[in-house]
A and B are shown apart, each in its own frame.
Chain A
Amino acid sequence: MIQLENVSKVYRTKTIETTALNEINLTISEGEFVSIMGPSGCGKSTLLNVIGLLDEPTEGKITVAGESVQNYNSKATSKFRNQKLGFIFQSFHLIPDLSVIDNVELPLLYRNVSAKERKELSAAALESVGLKNRMDHFPSQLSGGQKQRVAIARAIVGNPAILLADEPTGNLDSHMGNEVMDILLKLNQEQNTTIVMVTHDENMAKRTNRLLRLYDGSQVA
């Protein structure tokens, strides 16, 4: 499903050169639930961004869902992201001007889905994260955990083949965190969604199929 060959990412600024990813080789098969762990700044988010086509690697080859996405033009990339990928960002990234339900329906907005259907699907996604009663709130009216769950609803509403989650439970207490984990596991098992999740929590990592460890941009396990 996801294949990285010798992928490196180097950030160059005037004063310093940071190797965020160093020759990563990685294969994730369809339906796998992989977790990534490692100390802060070791390149976890960078790895996820590169897989999700949000950032370009400095070197190396990426294949996602059997397609050499690196060669896509920007329109094809957009379509690919829209159809195949779902994101949960480390810092939510909800759009403050939009209500909860409008935030959730965002991926559907860029597909040919009728307004009615968008609304139904979004409501269902919100229900699955237990926030159906907050549909018309705005992000600023939500707690951190609630924002996190809205972000999850938005990531799963389009039923993507691949879900990339950057610390989806990072802002939640263990009870809520487990519930989110349950949602993800259910998605993985029932929809066969491939999930790559960054986490700092060993307990969460234990519940996934495989654990990758990064250290200073290199894969150590």
Chain B
Amino acid sequence: MGKQMVLSEAVHKRFGRLEVLQGIDLEVAPKEVMCLIGPSGSGKSTFLRCINHLEKIDAGRLWVDGELVGYRQQGDKLYELGDKEVCRKRSEIGMVFQRFNLFPHMSALENVIEAPVRVKGENEQVAVERGRAMLDRVGLADKIDAYPNQLSGGQQQRVAIARALAMQPKLMLFDEPTSALDPELVGDVLDVMRQLALDGMTMVVVTHEMGFAREVGDSLVFMDSGIIVEAGKPRDMLANPQHERTKLFLSKVL
């Protein structure tokens, strides 16, 4: 448990009667880019949300950077973490959503500096400085004062990435970051993510972009109905899937 960024052991999650995650075991090493694929409803989003405790897991154990998610262990007893502790841990994990979820009443720069200032209590000057640098990094230096509805989908998603990066997270979660984009805008977002991977960010990416998974991913995990069916090196798995379900899924998306 020492050296993994994410460690998941037999993680279960239920919504009422529906068992959405039925024992997920996986490890993500620091600087690793793990791509998560699988059919709709297989529990990919739910698993990502468990990692930063937007959902509570029902069974199993989940660690991020060596610390239990949502709980503190003393002896063999588990204590639920208070709101403050949960928030602090979330602030160390960046998350990017399919539908961007930018704050529409704030400009791009305000979106980016909101959390550093309010959550980390960073000096506003410092936050603005870094906010500009982050927006520059995602290629939007000229859109600092634009409101989200004045930006294209691809630009919004890049602001959302800058917003997450401004918190200087140790782990980034991407939930289908390009699925809501028009095809010609997908490339810009993927370029930013590719650069982020080169810079050594640890990333868990739910995606349908097999090209990205093949080129950028260090590992590929195929999920179906709440379990991991197959995992391995992206190139091997995409070229030569072992399981029937993986073959079927890949034949549909490739």
The answer to whether A and B belong to the same complex is no
Residues of B within 8 A of A (CB): none
